[in-house]
Structure 1
Amino acid sequence: MNIVIVGAGLAGVSAAEELRNQGCPGQITLIGAEPHAPYERPPLSKGILLGDAEPDSTIVHDAQWYADHEVELITGVPVSEVDIDTGHVLLGDRHLPYDRLLLTTGSVPRRFPLADRSGADVVYLRTLDDALALKSRLTENLLIIGAGWIGLEVAAAARTAGGTVTVVEAADLPLAGVLGPELAPVFVDLHREHGVDLRLGTSVTAIEQRGGRTLVMLADGHQVSPDLILVGIGAEPDDHLAVKAGLDTDGGVLVDAWLRASDPHVYAAGDVANQEHPVLGRIRVEHWDTAIHQGRHAARNMLGQDDPYDRQPYFFTDQYDLGMEYVGHVGPEGYDEVVVRGELDDRVVTALWIRDNRVLAGMHLNDWDAIDPIRSWVGREADEELRNTASRLCPR
């Protein structure tokens, strides 16, 4: 079997590794548009910026691994076309045939045209090169547009480096879509305690160049004169190849529970995959853990396994001295209650989000023994036994 993987991120390399672990005897080609070998992205907004991690430490496998496992790794050359009728991908002037194709093209930062056309010094954070360039400027006056995970992690790194940081967020609370009004204030207090000028419920209305300086006007009447603007307003699936090929797409490549696309020879995994999850409904997840496990799962299914991917989403963040892990997905229908155990002021907390007396999601703050119980609770009925166990784990 000839397998081509387009996208040399974590989902793609995880799939290639699993294919060989499962004894796949055929040719495996892994193609990445970036010049680097596949690497881990979470350190880009954490360890790399903080100086705790070197670029080489993010690389998943060295060159010898690919040679030993007979995986052809092609980097720095983007695929220009996928022909699902003939089963080929076009790479420069090279036509690569496939029996199975896996799309792991990931996502790209959502652009902010007002900033892009302003003439200001504007950056986005997605690649290793982006992170290394940003690291050298963290001591400057930084304006961050967007208080999502990337924006707040960069804010923490910049303040740790001694930079001046203003964060602008249109919502009244950061991360409210995930944490709700009960837990989101923890991150507001955390960043303000560390000197971040966190401006909520406002937005950028204009960016001008005056006398060699950048002047940013906010809807609340405040003005900022940053040296650098980081835009962190989310990401969009990089599904242009799938669209061009005629695959079904809608906010990513539409795949079924088995990670199969609308063409039976094509699969998708990671950020680009919009999956019909057997428990959560249609969902697209932009997290490290999902990239790894969907990549592996797609590899097994391409080899003939017939299991749906039903793993719950997981992500983590590290900001200053606060660590958090989160499992599950609340979804658009929301929740009936959130059960919080522990002291929010101490930031040692376990929280469970519940709807119809079933645990939708759970997380902890700085309680590292809690993640395994939380994993076991998500999806369960929130009965008295579970509630009592959660209470003993992190008593109020």
Structure 2
Amino acid sequence: MARARTCLRLTMADSTQFDYLIIGGGMSADTAARGIRELDADGTIGILSEDVDEPYTRPALSKKLWTDPEFTWDPVPLGTADATGAQIRLQCSVSTIRPAEHEVDTTGGDTVGYGKLLIATGGAPRLLPVPAGPKVLPFRSAQNYRDLRTLADQHGRIAVVGGGFIGTELAAALVQNDVETVLIHDGSVVGGNVFPPDLAKHFEQLFIDAGVEIVGGTRVVGGEVTDDGVRLDLADGDPVTVDAVVSGLGITPVVSLVETAGITVDDGIVVDEQLRTSAEDVWACGDVANYPDRILGQRRVEHVDNAEQMGKAAGRNLAGAGQPYAHTPLYYSDVFTASYEAVGRLDGSLEVVEDWQEPFDTGVVYYLDEGKPVGVLLWNVWDSTDAAREVLASADTLSREDLIGRIR
């Protein structure tokens, strides 16, 4: 099977023409290559990735690698090259896409041709207004995980900036590994932008009880890295001094490459129901794709279920399946004793219907927009995501009363 190599320059053994070319080396690229192989056993597959690692399972970086002592690194790499025969070029950046010529140029000065192209460039982490370095980390890649793990093993004082999914998972991970942890976020309560008020207060208390120092209602506006650590200057309040800082501020979809190529962009790369872009023989999938969800309408989703399922659908369509992407993805998080799955739109400012079997331990929260369910939160409720999708699909016919007891 083909093996990964760097893309500093092409070698004589490297192909310069592929039947299927994938830009991006994340989980979508892995499932896309596998999707291609479901329909085409022989077509050549190339993957151009800026990462230093072959595709790997990203959720483990902020979850099980920190919290499950029996979970090792071994299952994290996905084995894409061995499973599919794809030729993977690591540390390989694409500078230009030329759809009319069916070619891309790399920053190393090489040209690679394709029959079909899939763009799975994902997103770039939003950075702090503090110079990046060994003590100031973003969190997106396996290398970021390794760097943060090295810092955590020193058991110093680390700040996590950002109160979203990644930020809260990282804060929980660090404090459970005996790291003095500070969580800096711009909300009034941790989780307040996602959960209804009482649940958000319960969620925040989990962090306080675990020993996390909460600095809320502010943002980092600057700072300085010194020999002793990092000083973070805040918009409101006194500076925070730590040994290191990691940011979990979300991502920005990587679209400049396709925008320059004349491909339609609007909060990501706009695709149709078959994940085709506005350019001939060019598809897009994963975090970067803005697609028409069959239940919820046009949206872009930054979660692993979507990356996996959309990548597989895109790969099959590159190989000629011609099928719509009909999956409405779920997302999930595990923080201390709180484990939840969700489908649709979770927004703490929306009207909610709460159906607790045991308050803040087991229950379902329905999010309503103009009286119609647009999101379902399953709090320690399992095997119910299909039922949640049915609620959203039937939103026009359901009253508030219909929701109570609907999912158990």
Same fold by TM-score greater than 0.5: yes
Q: Corresponding residue for 1:60?
A: 78
Q: Corresponding residue for 1:116?
A: 131
* Contiguous gaps of at least 5 residues in structure 2: 1-17
1:224 CA displacement: 2.1
Question: How far apart, CA to CA, are the structure 1 residues paired with 2:100 and 2:147?
Answer: 42
Which of 232, 236, 243 is the equivalent residue of 2:259? 243
Question: How far apart, CA to CA, are the structure 1 residues paired with 2:305 and 2:322?
Answer: 21
Question: How far apart, CA to CA, are the structure 2 residues paired with 1:50 and 1:335?
Answer: 32
Q: Corresponding residue for 2:276?
A: 260
Which of 90, 95, 101 is the equivalent residue of 1:75? 90
1:226 CA displacement: 0.3
* Contiguous gaps of at least 5 residues in structure 1: none
Q: Corresponding residue for 1:21?
A: 38
Q: CA offsets per residue over residues 4-26 of structure 1, 9 Å max, x none? A: 11112111110110111123542
Q: Corresponding residue for 1:298?
A: 314
Aligned AA (2:88): L
Residue 163 of structure 2 aligns to a residue whose secondary structure is coil
Which of 178, 184, 187 is the equivalent residue of 1:168? 184
Question: How far apart, CA to CA, are the structure 2 residues paired with 1:273 and 1:131?
Answer: 25
1:176 CA displacement: 3.4
How many positions carry a matched residue from both structures?
A: 385
Question: How far apart, CA to CA, are the structure 2 residues paired with 1:335 and 1:17?
Answer: 39
Q: Tell me, yes or no, if the aligned pair for 2:119 and 2:282 is still in contact at 8 Å.
A: yes
Q: Corresponding residue for 1:222?
A: 238
1:387 CA displacement: 2.6
Q: Corresponding residue for 1:153?
A: 169
Aligned AA (2:379): L
Percent identical residues: 28
Q: Corresponding residue for 2:151?
A: 137
Question: How far apart, CA to CA, are the structure 1 residues paired with 2:222 and 2:288?
Answer: 32
Q: Tell me, yes or no, if the aligned pair for 1:146 and 1:167 is still in contact at 8 Å.
A: yes
1:232 aligns with 2:248: yes
Question: How far apart, CA to CA, are the structure 2 residues paired with 1:263 and 1:180?
Answer: 42
Which 10-residue stretch deviates more, 349-358 or 156-165?
349-358
Which of 53, 56, 62 is the equivalent residue of 1:36? 53
Question: How far apart, CA to CA, are the structure 2 residues paired with 1:278 and 1:47?
Answer: 32
Residue correspondence of structure 1 range 185-196 to structure 2 within 5 A: 185-196=201-212
Question: How far apart, CA to CA, are the structure 2 residues paired with 1:133 and 1:370?
Answer: 37
Which 10-residue stretch deviates more, 322-331 or 32-41?
322-331
1:252 CA displacement: 1.7
Q: Corresponding residue for 1:179?
A: 195
1:361 aligns with 2:375: yes
Q: Corresponding residue for 1:4?
A: 21
Question: How far apart, CA to CA, are the structure 1 residues paired with 2:400 and 2:186?
Answer: 39
Query: Hey, which of these two has a bigger chunk of helix by percent?
Result: 1
Q: 1:182 to 1:23 in 2, by over 3 A?
A: farther
Which 10-residue stretch deviates more, 261-270 or 273-282?
273-282
Residue 151 of structure 2 aligns to a residue whose secondary structure is coil
Q: Corresponding residue for 1:87?
A: 102
1:267 CA displacement: 0.7
Residue 161 of structure 1 aligns to a residue whose secondary structure is coil
Q: 1:369 to 1:10 in 2, by over 3 A?
A: closer
Q: Corresponding residue for 2:213?
A: 197
Q: Corresponding residue for 1:337?
A: 352
TM-score of the aligned structures, taking structure 1 as reference length: 0.88
Which 10-residue stretch deviates more, 27-36 or 103-112?
27-36
TM-score of the aligned structures, taking structure 2 as reference length: 0.85
Question: How far apart, CA to CA, are the structure 2 residues paired with 1:213 and 1:90?
Answer: 41
1:369 CA displacement: 4.5
Q: 1:304 to 1:348 in 2, by over 3 A?
A: same
Give me the CA root mean square deviation.
2.6
1:132 CA displacement: 1.2
Residue 2 of structure 1 aligns to a residue whose secondary structure is strand
Question: How far apart, CA to CA, are the structure 1 residues paired with 2:193 and 2:386?
Answer: 24
Q: Tell me, yes or no, if the aligned pair for 1:40 and 1:58 is still in contact at 8 Å.
A: yes
